[in-house]
A and B are shown apart, each in its own frame.
Chain A
Amino acid sequence: MTPYASYNDFKEQLLASFRDNEERMNGERKAPLHQIRRAALRQFDQLGFPTIRHEEWKYSNVSGLMKQAFELDETTTLTPNDLAPLEIPNLDGNILYFVNGRYHPELSHIVSPAGQVQITSFASALKSEPDLISAHFAQYANYQENSFTALNTALANDGVVVRVPDNTTVDQPIILRFITDSRTKNIASQPRNLIVVGKNSELMLAESYRTLGEGASFVNVVTEIVLDRDARMQYYKVQDETEKAYHIGTTQVNQTDSSHFYSATVTLNGSFVRNNLNIRLDGQYAEAFMYGLYMPNGRQHVDNHTLVDHAMPNSYSNELYKGILDDNSTGVFNGKIFVRPDAQKTNAYQSCKNVVLSPGATMNTKPQLEIYADDVKCSHGTTTGQLNDEALFYMRSRGIPKDEARTLLLYAFSQDVLSQIKIQPIREYLERVVQEKLGK
């Protein structure tokens, strides 16, 4: 594959792919859903890929993406042997595999009874549950301003649709494993997920991203999550991709009264990562907890943008992101807290703490508070520093070698985030990988 000759080639390819899809359609072309997709495509066409002149992309330059050439919607078959090295030990539950964005039922296991939770691929839900899809699809994730969300909205053709009825605790977690197989080609995929949790119900769900092979990969994912009254959800996003992996993702959460959302976003590896986590607290007493851990090294770039939109009174948000940056890596944290005029008695807390291990690494942090109500409690703080020399000296003076002292300190630093993860096999897997990466 020859790289794109110009900035516009990739865009043209994506637009052409939409037209190809459209030509294969019959009656669906007129459906309201397809109209949304067309609108999103127009929006993508108009916005184009963002440049660093765009305020939201100031520190994250996506131009590297245009220097590759990607195959779209190119799926391969993986055998259990291919997957073995990617396995998370002791993991039980509903495990769904997506290869290059496409759901692979033959690799997946769904164990929860349908009465507890309905788990369908996005592709089949488009046909089998048009009402559910049109009630929620693209209703939360904004494609007017974010061209990657627009692109995904236009092109997505697979992913998962999860629906939990009212008053139900889903007792097995759902693990979505997105594997990009770039062993022979550069692969781009656009997964789309929709999670709807009913009143007073409970769900644990994790998204995990891995890449196979040496080729470049580009995952552009959008997950929309809707929590009804009193619903509780644990949501984890785990990224461990290659040095040639581009990942751009938006998770859009919409919460109603007294719902609780707990999230952890852990980025272990990837070439270029941009995570948008947008939460709208659209109900009284809604609560959102956001944890993040990123540990780029080499030339990796990790950007976390979070937005909490307090729209109603008495809601609560608490956010803690932590970064460990080594070599020539770069990190970005942009945390926006928005308190609308109606959202009296809002409590919103945000903290971002970073350890920079090498003079070549940089971290850009930007808290943004926009508060339009007067009776609120808000706090934010960011710190970026080196490893604590006093602590290192203390530990070494007790006989612990420098590297080990360093690993112990950093591991302890990461624990504030990892300890939040309630799916034990995932937590243990992360603890191991984090320790391995720190030990290097």
Chain B
Amino acid sequence: MLSISNLHASIGNKEILRGLNLEVNAGEIHAIMGPNGAGKSTLASVLAGREDYEVTDGSVQYNGKDLLDMAIEERAAEGIFLAFQYPVEIPGVSTTNFLKTALNEIRKHRGQEPLDAVQFLKLMKEKMKLVNIDQSLLSRSLNEGFSGGEKKRNEIFQMAMLEPKLAILDETDSGLDIDALRIVADGVNQLRSPDRATIVVTHYQRLLDYIVPDFVHVLYKGRIVKSGPKELALELEEKGYDWIKAEAV
């Protein structure tokens, strides 16, 4: 599904991704861990198409297409979803209105009829239950004044609504209480299917108790320096990153 090879990306003159390789197949869940500043969010942003980053080398294939060639909205329409580490506040636009526009644009791209107000509301009700989010939150300006946890929950709600093929969760678990953590995990697990994949960026093993990954990768200094089964996360929790850093040198 996703094939990243020798990816180099920089911002300004600073190279952040330095030859990153990663293969993700449909049906898989990959966890990416790694110390602060390693480039995890950068990777997520580059995949979503953030224009601040310049890809200087390497390639990213997504379902047989050149992902780096696609516009941001096109990637979304093709099923890529990024749950932001820091969701953006958008004054004056309600989550409901925002999501309706987004969903219908994606449907248009897929050659589907737009949902009318009634159909949309029905879908929304269904997904609201799933992530246990309140209607009053959704009629407010998108993320404006939301608590940290509410923002993260709203990301998962959006994910549930848009049903992406490849979801990238950037530290969606940070700042969540235990209940919310479970909700996030449920959201991800609901989407789990043979034709979808998820990349979970996290610092904490505990999320991986709920979302059991097929692979765990360590990203350090812009590269994946170690990959392993889910047990790798436990080992990292126990030993920290020093041994990996030592190995990587």
Contacts and interface: CB of A to CB of B under 8 A. Distances in A.
Given A399-B162, A404-B101, A394 B90 contact: yes
A83 B75 CA distance: 47
B88 A400 contact: no
A401 interface: yes
A400 B72 CA distance: 9
B229 interface: no
Contacts of B162: 398-399
B106 A399 contact: yes
A398 B102 contact: yes
B90 A395 contact: yes
B51 A399 contact: no
A391 B90 contact: yes
A393 B51 contact: yes
Contacts of A405: 73
Given A393-B72, A394-B84, A399 B102 contact: yes
Contact of B102 (A388, A400, A411, A416): A400
Interface in A368-418: 388, 390-391, 393-402, 404-405, 408-409, 411-413, 415-416
Interface in B137-161: 141, 158
Interface string B189-204: 0000000000000000
A412 B92 CA distance: 5
**From DSSP, what is the main secondary structure of chain A's interface residues?**
helix
Interface string B71-108: 11101110001101001111111000111011101100
B212 to A, nearest CB: 27
A409 B90 contact: yes
Given A393-B50, A394-B84, A394-B87, A399 B92 contact: no
Nearest to A402: B73
A262 B12 CA distance: 48
A412 B106 CA distance: 22
Given A390-B88, A402-B73, A412-B91, A397 B48 contact: yes
Contacts of B158: 398
Interface residues of B, number: 32
Contacts of B206: none
Nearest to B107: A399
B76 A398 contact: yes
Q: Which of A388, A396, A399 has the most CB of B within 10 A?
A: A399
B125 interface: no
B3 to A, nearest CB: 21
Nearest to B80: A397
A399 B109 contact: yes
Contacts of B71: 396, 402
A281 to B, nearest CB: 30
A397 B82 contact: yes
B49 interface: yes
B101 A400 contact: yes
Contact of A399 (B77, B90, B97, B141): B77
Contacts of A399: 73, 76-77, 102-103, 105-106, 109, 162
A399 B49 CA distance: 12
A394 B51 CA distance: 12
A391 B88 contact: yes
Given A394-B88, A397-B48, A408 B93 contact: yes
A394 B84 CA distance: 8
Nearest to B83: A397
Residue with the highest number of chain B CB atoms closer than 10 Å, among A401, A402, A409, A411: A401
A394 B102 CA distance: 11
Interface of A: 388, 390-391, 393-402, 404-405, 408-409, 411-413, 415-416
22 contacts: A391-B90, A395-B98, A396-B71, A396-B73, A397-B72, A397-B75, A397-B82, A399-B76, A399-B77, A399-B105, A399-B109, A399-B162, A400-B73, A401-B105, A402-B72, A405-B73, A408-B93, A409-B90, A409-B92, A412-B90, A412-B141, A413-B91
Interface of B: 48-51, 71-73, 75-77, 81-82, 84, 87-93, 97-99, 101-103, 105-106, 109, 141, 158, 162
User: Which 4 pairs between the two chains have the least Cβ-Cβ distance?
Assistant: A412-B92, A399-B76, A396-B72, A398-B102
Given A400-B73, A402-B71, A409-B93, 8 more contacts: A393-B48, A393-B50, A394-B84, A396-B73, A397-B81, A399-B76, A409-B90, A412-B91
